[in-house]
Amino acid sequence: MFVLSLVVLLMWREPGHPLMSLWISGMNITLTDNGLLLVVRLLLKALISMTFSMFFLMTTRYAYLSTMIYRVFPSPIDQIFLMSYRFIFITLKMVNAMMRALKSRGGGLIKGMTRQSQMFAEVFALVFIRSYDRAERVNKAMEARGYSGKYIAATGIPRIGYVEYGFIMGILSIIAYQMLFHSLV
Amino acid sequence: MALLESKRAEPTVCHISAEPELIHVDCVSHIYPDGSLGIHNLCFKVQEKEIVAVCGGNGSGKSTLLEHLNGLLSPSDGCVSVFGKRLDAQTKKSLWKDVGIVFQRAEDQLFAPTVLDDVMFGPLNMGMNIEDAKQVAFESLKAVGAEELVNKMPNYLSGGQKRLVSMAGVLAMKPKIMALDEPTSDLDPNHAEIIEKIILELKNKYGISVVIATHDLDLAAQIADRICIVKSGSIIAEGTPAEIFYNSELLEEAGLKKPKIVQIYDEFCKSRGLERKNRPVTVVELAKCFTCE
């Protein structure tokens, strides 16, 4: 959707055979065949990137991923990533607990629009305050073990096996073949 | 027993013994930024290879005291000395290596993606290389009986397991003193017993001095060599478990209840019309009393 929102703006500027025209506030904008092709191409690229990213994330243990990020990304990006993962779980747990507590006393999300918005605001504010409080406590606990701003991710990552090497070589061969002989990319 | 007055106006008396002191908290006061009083004129010491239990009700200042031992909090007044050196900005920087602290909420202490990573955190900060840190982490996890959790994610551990891992994380730094904040709170009896055994092992096997802040007097009675009763930020009494736990007025003043062993022995003596000759505080001592009397 994010890519689509950008492409929708770009597609009107592509030169080519016009398909349709629109008059908006005295301005004439034209959609061309190349514009439409650009939409399809960019959406497909985004889809492929997302699929590969999901495939990578869902088949890699987080501990390995965090070590890779620690090795590759500069500080503080790696530190933010390493810390945020656990906090996502903690925050979700906190929200769940709060929603359960709300429901246990007759609260819920079906009491009318005003009440619902108010409740969401209350939950959001509480989560923010409690997360801040918890972050303080976690920082204190980390300082007590010598933390001074640098967290080292030290999980050992297993070496790539022959099967994985074969898979990567196969994929690269297909890409090279497509690029050299079919120029589809 | 050194029964100290808890009056705010008068400073408490510091009893400095001839025994080697690892930590000396000398008339320390701490005021939080919001103006609330954490501790007031508090004197406290930790000696070699002893288990000290700091007992008191909620909000009595136990946790504040513990955070002063590790240098996480600085006193507003008074001074803290560790290994004979007065704490200042410079000495505080490396204090975490010698005084480990296990927090009340184990969940706050675990942040790494795996248990192994979390336990390795302290040793890596000490400058160990990854292989050595891993070795030490394995040893610490084994020491607390949590070696099977090594590759688990902290999110999926039970409360008791989290507590064991957080203890291993501190033990891995091989501190000379360990401060444990409410080590058995929220734990089932089995896990509480495991923690109890580990604390005794810390002292007997590893020679670590242990300070526990707790309102679980049953735990304190079983394992502590010395008890300090805290009320309103000051230590109002200090002594052996037998001296403290058979002082009903003192416990009442501090808002605490006698340990179960003491209650049973009191009832036993009362029902039989016996005089309280002995003062058992552990199960073994109580069993001996029953067989003798």
End-to-end Cα separation, chain B, in angstroms: 27
Q: Could you give the CA distance from residue A85 to residue B117 in angstroms, rounded to a whole number?
A: 14
Q: Name the token pair of A19.
A: 């398909």
In this complex, is the C-beta atom of B175 within 8 Å of any C-beta atom belonging to chain A? no
Instruction: State the nearest Cα–Cα gap between A39 and chain B, in angstroms.
Output: 39
Q: Name the token pair of B102.
A: 């296990």
Give yes or no for a contact between B168 and B147, defined as CB atoms under 8 angstroms apart: no
**How many beta-carbon pairs below 8 A join chains A and B?**
79
Residue A14 CA: distances (Å) to CA of A4, A7, A19, A144, B131: 16, 11, 12, 59, 58
Inter-chain residue contact B96 with A145, CB threshold 8 Å: yes
Contacts 24+ apart (CB under 8 A), A44-49: A46/A3
B2-258: CATH, from 1.10.260.40, 3.40.190.10, 3.40.50.300, 3.40.50.1820: 3.40.50.300
| Average pLDDT, integer, range B266-277 | 86
CA nearest to A61 within chain B: B113
Q: Which of B68, B118, B121 should we substitute to test contact with A (largest number of A Cβ atoms within 10 Å)?
A: B121
Residue B42 has pLDDT above 80, yes or no: yes
DSSP string, B145-208: T-GGGTTS-GGG--HHHHHHHHHHHHHTT--SEEEEESTTTT--HHHHHHHHHHHHHHHHTT--
In this complex, is the C-beta atom of B145 within 8 Å of any C-beta atom belonging to chain A? no
Which A positions 83-142 lie with beta carbon below 8 A of chain B? Answer: 83, 85-86, 89-90, 134, 137-138, 140-142
Inter-chain residue contact B121 with A145, CB threshold 8 Å: yes
Residue A78 has pLDDT above 50, yes or no: yes
Residue A103 has pLDDT above 80, yes or no: no
Listed in sequence order, the residues at least 6 apart from B16 whose beta carbon sits closer than 8 Å to its beta carbon are B24, B45
Per-residue pLDDT reduced to its tens digit, A160-169: 889 989 999 9
Looking at residue B18, its pLDDT comes to 54
Residue A110 has pLDDT above 70, yes or no: no
Helix (H) / strand (E) containing B261: helix B260-272
Residue A7 confidence class, pLDDT cut points 50, 70, 90:
confident
Give yes or no for a contact between B181 and B101, defined as CB atoms under 8 angstroms apart: yes
Give yes or no for a contact between B22 and B177, defined as CB atoms under 8 angstroms apart: yes
| Average pLDDT, integer, range B264-287 | 88
> Which of B72, B116, B122 lies closest to A140 in CB terms?
B72
Tell whether the torsion through CA atoms of B154, B160, B165 and B167 is positive or negative: positive
Give yes or no for a contact between A49 and A93, defined as CB atoms under 8 angstroms apart: no
Helix (H) / strand (E) containing B237: strand B234-239
| Torsional class of B207: left (φ above 0), alpha (ψ -120 to 50), beta (otherwise) | left
- Half-sphere exposure (Cβ direction) of A152: Cα atoms closer than 13 Å: 21
Inter-chain residue contact A83 with B125, CB threshold 8 Å: no
| Average pLDDT, integer, range A25-29 | 81
In this complex, is the C-beta atom of A81 within 8 Å of any C-beta atom belonging to chain B? no
Residue B8 has pLDDT above 70, yes or no: no
Q: Name the token pair of A37.
A: 């092709």
Per-residue pLDDT reduced to its tens digit, B180-211: 999 998 889 999 999 999 999 999 999 999 99
Cβ-in-10-Å burial (0-12, 13-18, 19+) of A55 comes to: exposed
Which B positions 31-50 lie with beta carbon below 8 A of chain A? Answer: none
Q: Where are the domains of chain B?
A: 2-258, 259-293
What ipTM was assigned to the predicted interfaces of this complex?
0.72
Give yes or no for a contact between B66 and B80, defined as CB atoms under 8 angstroms apart: no
Q: Where are the domains of chain A?
A: 1-59, 73-143, 161-185
Using DSSP, state whether B239 is helix, strand or coil: strand
End-to-end Cα separation, chain A, in angstroms: 22
In this complex, is the C-beta atom of B120 within 8 Å of any C-beta atom belonging to chain A? yes
Looking at residue B89, its pLDDT comes to 83
Q: Could you give the CA distance from residue B151 to residue B163 in angstroms, rounded to a whole number?
A: 16
